[in-house]
Amino acid sequence: MLFFSKMICIVGAVVLLFSITADARIGNSTEPTSYCTETEECLLFDLICNGTEYEVRHYEAAKWVTTEEKSMFKDVAIMKAFKKLFNYITGENEAGVKIPMTAPVLIKVKEEMPFLEPAVYGLSFLLPSAYQDNAPKPTDSTVHLEEMTDMKVYVISYGGWMVGPVSTIYADLLKKALDNVKATYNTDYHYDAGYNSPMKLLNRHNEVWYVVSGAPVCPHVEHPSPSSPAHLSLQKPED
C-alpha cells in the first residue's frame, strides 16, 4: 500500500511539473528569446538552430483567439480582423473582462491566392498565461478560441512595417532559402508575425513563419567558429 501511495505522489509531481513547464512558454517579455518590447507577456520559444538566412524554432502548444476576414486586399482584411479581436480583449466576451495584449500577432496567409478575387486571411491574438485554460467565450460569433499545436517553424526576421508587399517579399526569400537546402515545410499557408503596435515607429520586428514538415533542416553557416552559436547550428537537431 505504501508503494502505491509513493507511486501516486511521483506521478502527481511529474504531471504538475509538466503543466508548469508548458505554461512557462508564455511568459515575461524580458526573456532572452523574446522580441516583445510593448507587452508584459510573449510567446516564448526554444531556438533549435540559426544562420544568416533563417532560423528554426520550437513552439509549444498554446491557445489563441482568432477571426477571419475576406478581402481583395490583405491590409484591409487585417484591419477589420484586428478591430474584432481588439473588441474581444477590451470586454466583448461573456465575462466582460479586459484581457492584456500579448505578442506576437499572427496572420495566417494561404499560399495559393485567387487572382483578382477576395481571399480569406486569419488573424490571431495570443491569450495571456492567466487565460490559457479559462478564456471567456467571445460574444461575436465570427470570433473563436483555438489551440495551435506544438510545432517547429522556419523563421526569417525583418524590420519596418509589415505591409502586404513587404511581407510577401520576405516570404519568398524564406521559401527560396528552404528550397535551396531541400527543406520540407507546409506549402498550404504561412504565418506573418508582428510584434509591435502602430504607435512604434523605430526598431520594429516582424517575421515570416513556415511550419516544418518532417525533420527540420538547419541553415548553412559558411565560417563558424568552434565557440559560436553558428557552430552549434550545424549540429543535427533532435526531432
Residue partners of 147: CB distance under 8 A and separation at least 6: 61, 62, 63, 64
Residue partners of 6: CB distance under 8 A and separation at least 6: none
The C-alpha cell that represents 152 in the structure block: 517547429
If you average pLDDT over residues 202-216, what whole number do you get?
Answer: 96
Per-residue pLDDT tens over the stretch 142-179: 999 999 999 999 999 999 999 889 999 999 999 999 99
Per-residue pLDDT tens over the stretch 73-89: 999 999 999 999 999 99
From the list 206, 205, 202, the residue with the least C-alpha distance to 167 is: 206
232 pLDDT tier (thresholds 50, 70, 90): very low
pLDDT at 226 over 80: no
Mapping DSSP onto H, E and C, the string for 169-203 reads HHHHHHHHHHHHCCCCECCCEEEEEECCCCCCCCC
The pLDDT of residue 11:
35
The C-alpha cell that represents 105 in the structure block: 500577432
The pLDDT of residue 20:
35
The pLDDT of residue 222:
56
33 pLDDT tier (thresholds 50, 70, 90): low
Give CA torsion, residues 169, 159, 75, 93, to 10 deg.
Answer: 130
Residue 233 or 30, more confident: 30
Question: What is the percent of the chain with per-residue pLDDT over 90, rounded to a whole number?
Answer: 69
Q: What is the residue whose three cell numbers read 552559436?
A: 229
The pLDDT of residue 7:
38
Phi-psi region of 182 (alpha: psi -120 to 50; beta: other; left: phi over 0): left
Paired sense of beta strands 189-194 and 105-110, if any: antiparallel
Q: What is the pTM assigned to this prediction? A: 0.81
The pLDDT of residue 60:
96
Per-residue pLDDT tens over the stretch 37-48: 899 999 999 999
Residue partners of 13: CB distance under 8 A and separation at least 6: none
Peptide bond between residue 104 and the one before it cis (omega within 30 degrees of 0): yes
pLDDT at 96 over 60: yes
The C-alpha cell that represents 39 in the structure block: 507587452
Q: Which fold has domain 23-232?
A: Multidrug-efflux Transporter 1 Regulator Bmrr; Chain A (3.20.80)
233 pLDDT tier (thresholds 50, 70, 90): very low
The pLDDT of residue 113:
81
> How many CA atoms lie less than 13 Å away from 104 in the CB half-sphere?
22
